[in-house]
């Protein structure tokens, strides 16, 4: 049930390189990338296999700021310090009027190869400005049915010696590895060294490495030009029948240890088991394999060496960021979906088309919040309050203010306001009045006001909330004041619940559940009945996280099987806590979760989850 075939075919022309052909069309050996929301220089450099310095050198000033919608020139190749080429893939920016067929003609590579290398590309999103990858380092094995038919003619190279060099065999080398090293076939190597037909390859033996054969391509143009729809349709892998789902959990349970992290991993696993149990009651057959990776310093190679792991339809994990690279490489090599539930800081998603990152990377999360905030509160009087309690939200505040500036939405920033005691009247009419002029002067009595502290800590809330309440309650001028904040405020409900309601508070989050809702109550009851305990009061709740992730993907595989990725935009379930909205980061990379809610705690003591179309 692997949903993609391994990307392992490309056209290699020896002597007359396709890379050289691309350089003719783009003499400066660069291509254009249009910046998308949430992308950073680091993420862009990672997806193209070049360094940040390479990009900055071609785009002066990009190290200061990059904006969505702008374009960057990206070098085709990045060189390491020793001068060797780091990136051997070729990237192409689709031009106005260009079709998939024209690209196959341009690079002499089949539509099937391009489609397999770019699983995010389709007839529907094939448009000007899209960047696609053109694999060009391996031999084509199967030409596309409607792409140009290719005939090979051998052009023998005249030379005084049949050997271009002699190779001394090293330990563990094979005929296959040596032929691959020099870019020739095994047959060519054996023909140049006939003794290999009867003798074993031994360490220290010298082999004749023949010259590569020059190949001349003769292109037969089809009678008519095929459309994008035809080429994409004929390049799609066949749909497989749905059977039993093989799933693996690869997490740091450390069952022989004790501690908070182990307890949370176990709770995640228990929530996952509830999802499996729920689906089995619906008739879904699931074979679940569970592996303990141990501590972050432990190796996962022993787990990856298990033969049954290659047969998985989906792997969930790891728990430690240090284990992601080997697990991602394994999933990519074997064409297995990898669902990463925790870490959001790794870059594997930019180059692995099988990877799903549930925890949204910070830059993408912030970009979604900026967009939604600007659309929701454009007409409000927006006031940022500088809270001298750390710099935990410096990047977030800077980005939000830049978004508002770009859209022409006015805002202001004030220092942490102070209480001022004033005396009014004389004699018996003398009255002591407490005011907060720094805040009062920033508010607008003719508009709704939304106040944003520059820190999300509990200490910041403790300092600021009483000041806002004082102004709202006692000032002679009535103010419509609202508070806007951060996901971690869910942890501080017990300390500030009444103030949150009084100030009509909003905060953003990708994880949220209202414990008073029936779905949440039912889950708590099921969890307690199954495991005879309550979930830990963490944010997010790990039991719910395990259930939501397990149910979402296992249900999706049962429903769509190999076509899950094509149906993500319409696949809709109602999770208990976790929001899902997966989008590919590029045409050859994986998926990140871009779901964001605004939670609104109203003055009527209602909790409203604002779910946006994204």
Q: Which of 215, 168, 171, 209 is nearest to 190 (CA)?
A: 209
Q: Residue 82: its pLDDT value, please?
A: 54
Give the helix ranges, DSSP H, for 282-423.
301-304, 324-334, 362-376, 394-406
| Dist. CA 148–CA 109, nearest whole Å | 9
- Whole-Å CA distances, 423 to 431, 432, 435: 6, 5, 11
DSSP string, 86-118: S---EEEEPPTT--HHHHHHHHT--HHHHHHH-
pTM for the structure as a whole: 0.79
Query: Residue 24: helix, strand or coil by DSSP?
Result: helix
- Whole-Å CA distances, 503 to 381, 452, 479: 15, 12, 11
CATH 3.40.50 assigned to domain 363-509? The reply is: yes
Q: Which of 488, 531, 482, 479 is nearest to 510 (CA)?
A: 488
Give me the long-range contacts of 534-537 (CB less than 8 A, separation at least 24): 535/267, 536/263, 536/264, 536/267
| Dist. CA 394–CA 374, nearest whole Å | 18
| Dist. CA 433–CA 420, nearest whole Å | 8
Q: Which of 484, 512, 516 is nearest to 500 (CA)?
A: 484
Q: Residue 176: its pLDDT value, please?
A: 80
| Dist. CA 161–CA 575, nearest whole Å | 70
Q: Which of 342, 242, 341, 303 is nearest to 3 (CA)?
A: 242
Under a CB-based contact definition with an 8 Å cutoff, are residues 89 and 588 in contact? no
- Whole-Å CA distances, 372 to 95, 358, 442, 505, 512: 31, 20, 23, 16, 17
Backbone angles phi, psi at 233, to 5 degrees: -60, -45
Q: Mean pLDDT of successive 10-residue segments in the chain (614 residues)?
A: 36 27 48 93 92 94 90 79 58 93 90 92 92 69 36 43 80 80 82 87 86 52 78 78 87 70 91 97 96 91 95 95 95 96 88 96 95 97 90 92 96 94 69 84 95 95 94 85 96 93 96 88 95 92 97 96 90 92 96 95 93 78
CATH-assigned architecture of domain 245-360+518-590: 3-Layer(aba) Sandwich (3.40)
Q: What is the CATH number of domain 157-212?
A: 3.10.350.10
Backbone angles phi, psi at 110, to 5 degrees: -70, 155
Query: Residue 39: helix, strand or coil by DSSP?
Result: coil
Ramachandran sector of residue 555 (left: φ over 0; alpha: ψ -120 to 50; beta: rest)? alpha
Q: Residue 257: its pLDDT value, please?
A: 58
Which run of H or of E encompasses 228? helix 228-235
Q: Residue 434: its pLDDT value, please?
A: 81
| Dist. CA 164–CA 161, nearest whole Å | 7
What is the residue extent of each domain of the chain?
A: 18-152+227-235, 157-212, 245-360+518-590, 363-509
Under a CB-based contact definition with an 8 Å cutoff, are residues 268 and 542 in contact? yes
Q: SS in 3 state form for 246-268?
A: EEEEEECCCCCCCCHHHHHHHHH
Domain 18-152+227-235: give its CATH superfamily: LysM domain (3.10.350.10)
363-509 shares the fold of 18-152+227-235: no
């Amino acid at each position: 049930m692997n949903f993609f075939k391994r990307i392992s075919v490309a056209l290699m022309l020896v002597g007359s390189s396709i890379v050289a052909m691309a350089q003719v069309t783009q003499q400066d050996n660069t291509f254009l990338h249009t910046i998308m929301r949430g992308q950073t220089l680091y993420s862009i450099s990672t997806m193209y296999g070049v360094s940040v310095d390479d990009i900055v050198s071609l785009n002066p000033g990009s190290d200061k700021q990059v904006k969505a919608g702008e374009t960057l020139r990206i070098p085709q190749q990045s060189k390491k310090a020793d001068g060797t080429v780091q990136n051997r893939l070729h990237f192409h920016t689709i031009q106005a009027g260009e079709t998939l067929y024209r690209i196959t003609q341009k690079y002499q590579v089949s539509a099937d190869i391009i489609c397999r290398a770019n699983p995010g590309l389709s007839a529907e999103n094939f448009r000007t400005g899209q960047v696609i990858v053109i694999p060009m380092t391996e031999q084509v094995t199967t030409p596309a049915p409607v792409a140009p038919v290719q005939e090979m003619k051998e052009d023998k190279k005249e030379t005084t010696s049949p050997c271009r060099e002699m190779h001394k065999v090293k330990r563990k080398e094979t005929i296959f590895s040596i032929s691959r090293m020099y870019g020739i076939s095994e047959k060519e190597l054996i023909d140049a060294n006939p003794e290999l037909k009867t003798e074993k390859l031994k360490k220290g033996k010298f082999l004749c490495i023949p010259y590569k054969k020059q190949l001349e391509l003769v292109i037969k143009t089809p009678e008519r030009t095929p459309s994008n729809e035809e080429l994409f349709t004929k390049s799609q892998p066949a749909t497989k029948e749905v059977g039993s789902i093989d799933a693996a959990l690869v997490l740091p349970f450390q069952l022989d240890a004790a501690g908070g992290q182990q307890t949370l991993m176990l709770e995640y696993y228990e929530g996952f088991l509830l999802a499996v149990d729920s689906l089995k009651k619906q008739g879904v057959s699931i074979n679940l394999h569970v592996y303990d990776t141990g501590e972050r310093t432990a190796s996962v190679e022993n787990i990856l060496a298990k033969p049954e792991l290659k047969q998985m339809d989906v792997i969930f994990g790891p728990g430690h960021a240090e284990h992601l690279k080997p697990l991602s490489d394994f999933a990519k090599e074997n064409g297995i979906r990898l669902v990463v539930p925790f870490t959001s800081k790794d870059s594997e998603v930019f180059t692995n088309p099988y990877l799903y990152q549930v925890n949204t990377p910070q830059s993408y999360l912030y970009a979604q919040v900026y967009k939604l905030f600007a659309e929701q509160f454009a007409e409000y009087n927006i006031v940022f309050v500088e809270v001298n309690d750390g710099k935990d939200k410096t990047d977030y505040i800077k980005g939000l203010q830049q978004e508002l500036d770009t859209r022409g939405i006015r805002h202001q920033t004030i220092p942490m306001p102070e209480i001022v005691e004033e005396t009014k009247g004389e004699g018996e009419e003398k009255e002591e009045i407490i005011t907060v002029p720094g805040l009062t002067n920033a508010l607008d009595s003719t508009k709704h006001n939304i106040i944003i502290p520059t820190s999300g800590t509990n200490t910041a809330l403790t300092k600021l909330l009483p000041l806002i309440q004082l102004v709202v309650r006692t000032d002679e001028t009535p103010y419509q004041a609202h508070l806007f904040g951060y996901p971690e405020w869910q942890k501080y409900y017990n300390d500030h619940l009444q103030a949150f309601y009084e100030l009509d508070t909003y905060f953003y989050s990708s994880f949220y559940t209202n414990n008073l809702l029936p779905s949440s109550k039912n889950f708590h009851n099921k969890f307690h009945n199954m495991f005879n305990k309550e979930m830990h009061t963490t944010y997010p709740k790990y039991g719910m996280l395990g259930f939501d992730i397990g149910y979402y993907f296992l249900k999706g595989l049962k429903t769509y099987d190999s076509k899950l990725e094509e149906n993500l935009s319409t696949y809709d379930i109602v999770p208990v806590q976790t929001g899902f909205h997966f989008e590919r980061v590029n045409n050859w990379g994986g998926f990140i979760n871009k779901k964001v809610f605004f939670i609104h705690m109203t003055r009527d003591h209602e909790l409203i989850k604002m779910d946006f179309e994204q």
